[in-house]
């Protein structure tokens, strides 16, 4: 009577479907009970494979119903032939299932291998691109460095070309201080002067700029015109429209007014006559410049010594620079050759470059051809190895499956043989008991009719009974020994197989052996009940006569 609203669906809250209790009436075998091993989550809800399994079980039950009884040799031979045919069909079906499973696994393996090859190709391509970018970056850096060195060397050569003769020039202080681009005003850092050092000495420190009180005092000392600016809109010189444009007529009027004013000024301008000089004008002489300082001329010997020392220094520095240039040339010989190749203008050099280029291309083509041959050979070898390995692994996997199936079939055969022997032993035991009982009843009835029982017959009966008991005990001991051996083999096979296979075997055993045996037992009970009244009447007659 109440309704609730939940956050989940019924399918999410439900665990397993409800299965009510059931009762099977006597004498009926419902087909639904053959699916008792299927549960929710395990082969339920049923799919195509489960439907095929159910159809095969139906066909097998129908085939079992058509098997002939084992009451004659012909029927037994026919039954054996039908069972062999069915076993071959089951083996063929099992081989088809194994082949389908292997095909599915092979497809999955192919997809995984293809995906791995694609991922490896992507990684190789990315690694190659990174390697190429790193080499390109190193090449660009080397080219930039060579260009910077080239510019530096050109500057040095230009500076040396200014003084080719090697004359000694003394410092001209006046020229340096008159040129604002000289070392006196703008020294270079490569000479050893760094203008950024001790720059804090030039920082302006003031009370009015660094403190709030100083700023307030500075603002109070300024006039109002500085802090409060008044801006007056300029009056237009020309008459404008509402939109802000100057009319053409107003512009013409202004231009005409300006021209008119200029003409009037030119017309009314009067040339003033030159006034005669009343007094002589004194020409002031400029202040004489101080005498230029004259340096003492050094002696010729000192000058020659200084020039010799300077020349020796130049030689040493030139040799050091030459050695450095030679080392740099040896280190960067490939780059120099590349630059020479780009700046080669002579015909002979161009021909040599073309010949070298053709030789390089031929060598590269030959190398590529050899690498292609090697790669093709390796590819063929790899394909052959892969084919051989695939065939070997396929053969090994099939052999493994075949051995497992042979062991399973052998276990099934041993289990069926054990069941057959147990049933034969039980049947022989029951047959012997029935025969003995029948003989006893016949003998009792015969003796009751004849009325005499001799000692020989009694001894014969005792001997026969002891022989039968001994044979029965030996048969039971032999059956128990074989049952123990078969049990060990069956337990070993049961430990290896899965739960689903065990349940399938149990279901086949139930429908192959237990149900027919139960029917036989019920029939025997009915026969025994129908014969019991006759046996009871015979017993009463025999016991009455003997008493």
pLDDT tens by residue, 510-521: 666 666 777 778
Which parts of 269-346 fold into alpha helices (H)? 300-331, 333-343
The Cα 90–Cα 390 span in angstroms is 28
Which parts of 162-275 fold into alpha helices (H)? 173-178, 207-210, 212-221, 224-227, 248-268
pLDDT at position 350 over 90: no
Match 């059931």 to its residue by tokens.
22
The last residue of one of the domains, among 141, 174, 192, is 141
Match 């399918």 to its residue by tokens.
11
Residue 358, in any domain of the structure: no
pLDDT at position 447 over 60: yes
Residue 260, in any domain of the structure: no
pLDDT at position 450 over 70: no
Residue 328, in any domain of the structure: no
**pLDDT at residue number 59:** 85
Residue 88, in any domain of the structure: yes
**pLDDT at residue number 384:** 86
- Mean pLDDT of all residues in the chain? 80
pLDDT tens by residue, 221-272: 888 777 777 777 666 665 666 666 677 777 888 888 888 898 888 888 776 6
Among 91, 31, 36, CA closest to 61? 31
Q: What is the mean pLDDT of residues 72-84?
A: 85
**pLDDT at residue number 144:** 94
**pLDDT at residue number 288:** 82
* Residue 222 DSSP symbol: S
pLDDT: which is higher, 472 or 202: 472
The last residue of one of the domains, among 119, 141, 163, is 141
Q: What is the mean pLDDT of residues 7-21?
A: 64
Q: What is the mean pLDDT of residues 19-43?
A: 74
The Cα 249–Cα 533 span in angstroms is 154
Local confidence band at 131 (pLDDT 50, 70, 90 cut-offs): very high
Among 228, 244, 237, 278, CA closest to 258? 237
In this structure, of 48-57, 78-87, 137-146, 235-244, the range with the lowest mean pLDDT score is 235-244
pLDDT tens by residue, 354-402: 888 888 888 888 888 888 888 888 888 888 888 888 888 888 888 888 8
pLDDT: which is higher, 400 or 347: 400
Residue 237, in any domain of the structure: no
The Cα 79–Cα 372 span in angstroms is 68
Assigned token pair, 120: 């490896």
pLDDT at position 482 over 70: yes
Assigned token pair, 402: 């075949």
Residue 343, in any domain of the structure: no
The Cα 63–Cα 147 span in angstroms is 96
pLDDT at position 462 over 60: yes
Among 343, 321, 341, 349, CA closest to 149? 321
Give the 3-state secondary structure percentages of the chain, helix then strand then coil, rounded to 5: 75, 0, 25
Q: How far is CA 483 from CA 370, 507, 531, in A?
A: 73, 21, 35
Residue 514, in any domain of the structure: yes
**pLDDT at residue number 116:** 93
Local confidence band at 119 (pLDDT 50, 70, 90 cut-offs): very high
Residue 44 — φ and ψ, nearest 5°? -130, 135
**What is the DSSP annotation of 255-281?**
HHHHHHHHHHHHHH--PPPPPPP-SPP
**pLDDT at residue number 145:** 95
**pLDDT at residue number 12:** 57
Q: Are 38 and 28 in contact (CB under 8 A)?
A: no
pLDDT tens by residue, 179-215: 888 888 877 777 777 766 777 777 777 888 888 888 8
Count structural domains, the chain. Answer: 2
**pLDDT at residue number 509:** 64
User: b/e map of 174-184 (b: 16 or more CB within 10 Å)?
Assistant: eeeeeeeeeee
Three-class DSSP category at 410: helix
pLDDT: which is higher, 446 or 327: 327
**pLDDT at residue number 118:** 94
The last residue of one of the domains, among 77, 110, 141, is 141
Residue 537, in any domain of the structure: yes
User: In sequence order, what are the beta bridge partners of 42?
Assistant: 39
Match 């007094």 to its residue by tokens.
279
pLDDT at position 442 over 60: yes
Domain ranges, residue 513: 498-546
| Total H helices, total E strands in the chain | 14, 2
**What is the DSSP annotation of 373-399?**
HHHHHHHHHHHHHHHHHHHHHHHHHHH
Give the rounded percent of residues in the chain with a pLDDT score beyond 70: 84
Match 């071959």 to its residue by tokens.
88
- The pTM of the whole model exceeds 0.75: no
Local confidence band at 6 (pLDDT 50, 70, 90 cut-offs): low
User: In sequence order, what are the beta bridge partners of 39?
Assistant: 42, 43
């Amino acid at each position: 009577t109440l309704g609730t609203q939940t956050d989940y669906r019924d399918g999410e809250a439900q665990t397993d479907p409800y299965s009510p209790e059931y009762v099977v009436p006597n004498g009926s075998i419902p087909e639904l009970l053959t699916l008792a091993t299927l549960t929710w989550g395990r082969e339920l809800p049923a799919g195509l494979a489960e439907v095929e399994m159910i159809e095969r079980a139906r066909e097998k039950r129908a085939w079992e119903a058509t098997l002939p009884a084992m009451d004659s040799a012909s029927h037994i031979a026919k039954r054996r032939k039908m069972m062999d045919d069915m076993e071959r069909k089951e083996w063929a079906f099992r081989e088809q299932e194994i082949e389908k499973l292997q095909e599915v696994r092979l497809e999955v393996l192919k997809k995984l291998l293809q995906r791995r090859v694609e991922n490896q190709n992507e990684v190789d391509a990315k690694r190659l691109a990174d390697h190429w970018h790193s080499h390109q970056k190193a090449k660009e850096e080397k080219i930039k460095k060579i260009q910077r060195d080239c510019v530096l060397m050109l500057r040095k050569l230009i500076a040396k070309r200014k003084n080719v003769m090697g004359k000694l020039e003394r410092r001209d202080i006046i020229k340096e201080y008159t040129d604002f681009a000289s070392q006196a005003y703008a020294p270079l850092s490569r000479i050893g002067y760094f203008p950024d050092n001790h720059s804090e000495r030039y920082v302006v420190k003031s009370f009015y700029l660094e403190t709030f009180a100083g700023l307030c005092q500075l603002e109070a000392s300024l006039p109002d015109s500085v802090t409060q600016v008044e801006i007056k809109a300029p009056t237009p010189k020309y008459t404008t429209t509402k939109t802000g444009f100057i009319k053409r007529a107003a512009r013409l009027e202004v231009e005409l007014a300006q021209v008119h004013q200029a003409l009037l000024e030119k017309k009314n301008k009067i040339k003033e006559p030159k006034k005669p000089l009343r007094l002589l004008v004194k020409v002031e002489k400029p202040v004489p410049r101080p005498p230029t300082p004259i340096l003492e001329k050094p002696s010729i010997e000192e000058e020659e010594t200084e020039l010799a020392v300077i020349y020796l220094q130049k030689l040493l520095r030139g040799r050091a620079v030459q050695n450095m240039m030679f080392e740099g040339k040896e280190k960067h010989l490939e780059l120099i050759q590349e630059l020479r190749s780009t700046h080669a203008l002579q015909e002979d050099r161009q021909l040599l470059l073309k010949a070298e280029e053709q030789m390089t291309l031929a060598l590269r083509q030959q190398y590529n051809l050899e690498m292609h041959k090697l790669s093709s050979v390796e590819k063929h070898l790899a394909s052959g190895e892969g084919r051989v390995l695939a065939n070997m692994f396929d053969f090994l996997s099939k052999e493994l499956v075949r051995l497992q199936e042979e062991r399973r079939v052998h276990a099934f055969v041993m289990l069926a043989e054990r069941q057959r022997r147990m049933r034969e032993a039980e049947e022989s035991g029951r047959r012997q008991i029935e025969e003995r009982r029948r003989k006893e009843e016949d003998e009792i009835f015969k003796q009751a009719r004849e009325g005499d029982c001799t000692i020989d017959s009694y001894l014969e009966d005792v001997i026969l009974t002891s022989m039968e008991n001994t044979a029965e005990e030996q048969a039971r001991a032999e059956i128990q020994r074989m049952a123990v051996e078969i049990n060990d083999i069956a337990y070993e096979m049961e430990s290896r197989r899965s739960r689903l296979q065990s349940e399938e075997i149990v279901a086949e055993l139930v429908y192959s052996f237990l149900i027919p045996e139960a029917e036989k037992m019920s029939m025997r009970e009915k026969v025994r009940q129908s014969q019991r009244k006759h046996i009871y009447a015979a017993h009463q007659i025999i016991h009455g006569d003997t008493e």
